Structure 1
Amino acid sequence: MTSATPVGDAHPYLRAASAGVRHHTRALTTEADTAPPSADRTHLDVLHTHLVALHRLLDQLQTATRPPHSAAGRHLATAGTRLWQAAAAVHDAFHLLPAQHATSADEEECHPERLPEGPPVLTICQRHLAAGHLVRRTTTPTDLNRPVHGHTTACAQ
């Protein structure tokens, strides 16, 4: 995928993060000898970190974009909502995977009342709660439960 943005732009860290995700995806799909490994808690924790960071970035961009370009700002806000939904789903999947140190079915379940369980459970839950505060300040429950809509604007080439 190519972009019209020049290589020497002001977003080198975002480019590096995107390249890292692409590299990881290719590495998972090109292993010919074995099937790709299933997700584990560490993998989902790192993915959740990435999604929350992208959500924060989109929130900042839509805040700055909305006054001069309200329609574009609304689309960025919608994209932020979808990223939050993805982060919430990854968080839920994290708790459905067995803990690496668990020895019984009771230890594999999520027990918030027993926190802190130690990293990475504490880390992902704290990150998710902190991001949730931002989401609740900027998004209504109706927006969070709204199904994904189709692209309604014409793309210019």
Structure 2
Amino acid sequence: MTFRTPADDAHPYLRAANAGVRHHTRALTRTTPAAPADRVHLDVLHAHLTALHHLLDHLSETTRPPHPAAGRHLTTAHTLLWQATAEIHLAFHLLPSSAAEGAEASACHPDRLPEGPPVLTICQRHLAAGHSIRRKTTPTDLRPHTTACVR
């Protein structure tokens, strides 16, 4: 006898994460006036994208042997998600610091972030994710992705 999980119960944590993102988006659009992103917001968003990055990495690795074409598409999604994660990291450092002003405050020094050195800061998380992507991709793969519409 085999137990099969119903399709709607197969991935409850992903559904919960999606619901959380939708709820947050609705809450942001209801606030008047709309508040700009802050460092804490981008740190949490970066953590979410990094978790998705690791999930896509695992899915592409396990999908590629039995289904090479699907695995290549997942690998491409993995690379594009990394580019989005890198842009969030850069935006984090361009936002003003709450503790000090100037370029020194926004430089990438995990031990000197205004929030203090938590167990895993955005910079440490980004460096760890960057290490994993660089083991599996080439610099050419990481160049900015452009899409041309041909009709």
1:35: Cα distance to partner? 2.1
Aligned pairs (5 A) from 1:4-153:
6-9=7-10, 11-31=11-31, 34-102=32-100, 104-110=101-107, 112=109, 115-117=110-112, 118-119=116-117, 123-149=121-147
* Superposition misfits of 4+ residues, deviation over 6 angstroms: none
Write the distance in 2 (CA, Å) between the matches of 1:92 and 1:146.
15
Give, in angstroms, the shift of residue 29 of structure 1.
1.1
Measured after TM superposition, the shift of residue 147 of structure 1 is 1.6
Shift of 1:8: 1.7
In 1, Cα distance between equivalents of 2:7 and 2:108: 48
Q: Percent identity among equivalent residues?
A: 63
Q: Does the residue aligned with 2:131 lie in a helix, a strand or coil?
A: helix
Query: How far is the alpha carbon of 1:50 from its aligned partner?
Result: 0.4
- Aligned-pair distance for 1:100? 1.0
The question of whether the paired residues in 1 share the 8 Å contact of 2:83 and 2:144 is answered with no
> What's the secondary structure of 1:141's corresponding residue?
coil
Match of 1:155? none
SS of 1:144 mapped into structure 2? coil
Look up the SS of the partner of 2:35 in the other structure. coil
Could you report, residue by residue, the CA deviation over 1:88-142 in whole angstroms, capped at 9, with x for unpaired residues?
A: 000000000111111x324433154xx511246x600000000011000111110
> Root-mean-square deviation (CA), in Å?
2.0
Corresponding pairs, count: 140
Cα deviation for residue 36 of structure 1 reads: 1.6
Q: What does residue 154 of structure 1 align with?
A: none
Please give the alpha-carbon distance, in whole angstroms, between the structure 2 residues aligned to 1:26 and 1:71: 36
Q: C-alpha separation between the residues in 2 aligned to 1:8 and 1:137? A: 34
TM-score, normalised to structure 2's length? 0.85
Structure 2 unaligned blocks of 5 or more: 1-5
SS in 2 for 1:7: helix
1:70-102 CA-to-partner distances (Å, cap 9, x unmatched) read: 000000000000110000000000000111111
Cα gap change, 1:111 to 1:63, in 2 (>3 Å): closer
Q: 1:145 to 1:21 in 2, by over 3 A?
A: same
